[in-house]
Amino acid sequence: MTELIAWGANNQKQISLKADQTTIQVTKIPLETSEDFREIGGGSGYTIRWMSDDQIYYLYKRNKKKITNISGVEKIAYGYDHALFLTQDNKVYILIKNTANQSGFGTTTSEYLEPTELPFFKDKKVIDVRANFKSSYIIVEGGTMFGCGFNSKGGIGQDTNTQVNNFVQVDTNISRMFGGVDSEGIIYEKSDGSFYGLGKNTSGQLGTGTSVNAKLPAKIEFLSNKPQVIDVALSLEHTLAIIEENNQRYLYSTGHQDYCGFGRTTHKFEKLEFFDDKKVEQIGVGCFHSIVKTYDTQIYVWGKNSSKQLGIGRVSTVPALLKINDLDENKYYKIASFSNGCCAYTCSSISVNSDFLNLFEKQFFSDFQVFDFKVHKFMIKLRTGDSPESFKDKIEENFKKNEAESVFLWIYGNSFQDIETLQKFWELFKIPDPKKKTLVSDLKKKFHDEESKNFDILVKIDDENEDEDEEDDFEEIPVHKLVLLTRSALFREMFLNIEQNTEQVKDFSGKTIESVEHFIKFLYYEEFELTADDDPELICDELEDAAEYYQLSDNRQLKRQLAKIKKQFNLK
């Protein structure tokens, strides 16, 4: 049975049409449908319900309305008083208000009660959208980002603080952008992995180490130096970030003392150690509050509580557990945060069986080939309501159309490096109990399963035998090609070299078996874990040799990890 549990501001009946209160405590909302939700979001005075059957409704001004004039919605971005819709034909639409000309029309039409196309992008291919506090950001094909609307803190990046009434170029080579419904700024990642911030920073919420507003792009060194930034959420006065390190997820925060979770102001990202052992899955922020959900469906909140947006009956400057008695442990929930409210809602979940995984391996890895990597809309059409069987049918159908590389890309991430893309796919198969089998656990099992290996890396351990190589001269390190290809662009490059000349696999001759094992583990985890007992100087030298041989010396992540080793052990 579909469930929606919500709390916070209800002054426009944006949470519940039947509740008379302007603010409500944690309440199970009566629903008229058995369809699961795909996504719920909202800002100030409105919420949007995107159902698993692709029907979309919005609650605004005490009414509920179905969106019928557009179809094929791929993404919805939620701002303070407007929302942006990205469709599968790469068009972008605005809904609700236009108070700061965040539509880019050049006029401040008061509101749009149905999605209205933004004309500036009619001849452009839009690939991503973001809505913040009365401002809009759009990325088009090629990575150029445009923005317009509210700009009193310089968030549009024009070195001014005056409102921007038409879309202007903000920056280029953008791969991802992050914001929030009440954020007067934006954080984005460039294609080289560097992160920049724009806009309001008076509480250090951009994490640049200062409290100066950024009217031009300001580099965020902390995020730029992290290997896997999973998600970032900006409020008016603080920012949260999920970062993956050493195959574990950690939560970081920066900003105002009342909202960042530390009880003190910080101008740079610091780890919220409270969550170190809690396996954070989702984060959300409103104007002055935060909500975090862990993989075991524990929900934590903190911040301002003037509209009961915390659901715990009190203000909390540090994380506090929110107990919701109605949560069903057998269902999978997501969370959403509005400007002054929150909700938890059910989503469909699918367990991946071994037959499903074998289909991938059979079709995509029977013969290794170099794919033409491109983002395709096929996977976006697959909703959480699909059964594994129907999903397999769609994979097979698409494969027959010679679009296998497109399916492959969405399954295994953007060029094997974009963990966020991979996470989006994993969301389709996540189930409540992390101990049960999922796509992720199956892949990890294959990594550790000796019988599932399908590729060997041979390390010569006997250099004294100058005669023809014999089997005993080598130590074998079994790896699973499928897993390594999904985890590492480094291995893909290395594997291409090996396939072109199978003898190159033995070019580890003369290297210690320890250094080779560290290199292989790096290909899996993109992290080096060395101790003083490992002879780090020797291993570091050998890793650099291997990187140079496989033409990986310029890889940003590899360079960063090697520099980390040298710094840790005071190596030159």
User: For 354-387, what is the HEC assignment?
Assistant: HHHHHHHHHHHHCCCCCCCCCCCCCHHHCCCCCC
With CA atoms as reference, report the closest residue to 295 among 332, 244, 252, 337. 332
pLDDT tens-digit readout, 347-371: 754 333 333 334 344 433 333 222 2
Residue 93 in this model has a pLDDT that exceeds 80? yes
Amino acid (1-letter code) at residue 268: K
Rounded Cα gap, residues 383 and 54, in angstroms: 8
Assign 437 a pLDDT band (cuts: 50, 70, 90): very low
Residue that wins the pLDDT comparison between 263 and 531: 263
**pLDDT for 476:** 63
Q: Say whether pTM exceeds 0.75.
A: no
Residue 546 in this model has a pLDDT that exceeds 90? no
Residue that wins the pLDDT comparison between 113 and 532: 113
Assign 328 a pLDDT band (cuts: 50, 70, 90): confident
**pLDDT for 538:** 85
Rounded Cα gap, residues 300 and 324, in angstroms: 11
Burial class (CB in 10 A: 0-12, 13-18, 19+), 434: middle
Contact (Cβ atoms closer than 8 angstroms) between residue 398 and residue 363:
no
Residue that wins the pLDDT comparison between 554 and 158: 158
Assign 481 a pLDDT band (cuts: 50, 70, 90): low
Residue that wins the pLDDT comparison between 422 and 541: 541
* Residue 73 three-state SS: strand
With CA atoms as reference, report the closest residue to 150 among 138, 167, 137, 133. 133
Assign 136 a pLDDT band (cuts: 50, 70, 90): very high
Maximum Cα–Cα distance across the chain: 88
Q: Which range (83-87, 326-330, 422-426) has the least confidence?
A: 422-426
Assign 478 a pLDDT band (cuts: 50, 70, 90): low
pLDDT tens-digit readout, 295-323: 778 999 999 999 999 999 999 999 999 99
Residue 399 in this model has a pLDDT that exceeds 60? no
Helix (H) or strand (E) holding 228: strand 228-234
The Cα angle at residue 348 between residues 347 and 350, in degrees rounded to 5: 140
Assign 408 a pLDDT band (cuts: 50, 70, 90): very low
Residue 417 in this model has a pLDDT that exceeds 90? no
Average pLDDT score over the chain: 77
**pLDDT for 449:** 45
pLDDT tens-digit readout, 516-528: 777 766 765 566 7
Contact (Cβ atoms closer than 8 angstroms) between residue 506 and residue 474:
yes
Amino acid (1-letter code) at residue 45: G
Rounded Cα gap, residues 301 and 342, in angstroms: 10
pLDDT tens-digit readout, 205-256: 999 999 999 999 999 999 999 988 989 999 999 999 999 887 688 999 999 9
**pLDDT for 563:** 83
**Overall residue count recorded for the chain in this entry:** 572
Structure-token pair, residue 12: 């426009």
**pLDDT for 181:** 98
Place of tokens 């700009």: 151
**pLDDT for 380:** 26
**pLDDT for 37:** 87
> What is the percent of the chain with per-residue pLDDT over 70, rounded to a whole number?
67
DSSP-assigned letters across all residues of 282-326: EEEE-SSEEEEEETT--EEEEE--TTSTTSSSS-EEEEEEE--TT
Residue 378 in this model has a pLDDT that exceeds 60? no
**pLDDT for 495:** 52
With CA atoms as reference, report the closest residue to 160 among 203, 168, 210. 168
Rounded Cα gap, residues 255 and 244, in angstroms: 21
Assign 451 a pLDDT band (cuts: 50, 70, 90): very low
**pLDDT for 531:** 80
With CA atoms as reference, report the closest residue to 525 among 569, 458, 460, 479. 479
Q: Where does 401-535 have alpha helices with state H?
A: 404-412, 419-427, 439-448, 481-487, 489-500, 513-525
- Please state the separation of Cα 401 from the chain's center in Å: 29
Q: Which range (44-58, 116-130, 168-182, 549-563) has the least confidence?
A: 549-563
**pLDDT for 94:** 97
Structure-token pair, residue 359: 């289909």
Rounded Cα gap, residues 135 and 99, in angstroms: 10
- Please state the separation of Cα 43 from the chain's center in Å: 20
Rounded Cα gap, residues 182 and 133, in angstroms: 5
With CA atoms as reference, report the closest residue to 216 among 266, 171, 173, 165. 171
**pLDDT for 393:** 52
Residue 395 in this model has a pLDDT that exceeds 60? no
* CA distances in angstroms from 232 to 74, 75, 463, listed in the order given: 20, 17, 50
CA dihedral 373, 374, 380, 386 (to 10 degrees): -30
The long-range contacts involving 54-59, CB below 8 angstroms and separated by at least 24 positions, are 54/383, 58/83, 58/95, 58/96, 59/12, 59/13, 59/14, 59/15, 59/17
Structure-token pair, residue 244: 């993956």
* CA distances in angstroms from 375 to 4, 119, 164, 230, listed in the order given: 33, 24, 31, 19
Residue 336 in this model has a pLDDT that exceeds 90? yes
**pLDDT for 503:** 37
pLDDT tens-digit readout, 184-199: 999 999 988 899 999 9
Q: Going from the N-terminus, what domains does the chain have, and what CATH number goes with each?
A: 354-436 (no CATH), 450-568 (3.30.710)
- Please state the separation of Cα 290 from the chain's center in Å: 18
Q: Where are the beta strands (DSSP E) in 150-184?
A: 164-171, 174-178
Amino acid (1-letter code) at residue 291: I
Average pLDDT, integer, range 344-349: 74
Helix (H) or strand (E) holding 392: helix 388-400
Residue 504 in this model has a pLDDT that exceeds 50? no
φ, ψ (nearest 5 deg) of residue 408:
-60, -45
**pLDDT for 547:** 74
Assign 511 a pLDDT band (cuts: 50, 70, 90): low
Residue that wins the pLDDT comparison between 13 and 553: 13
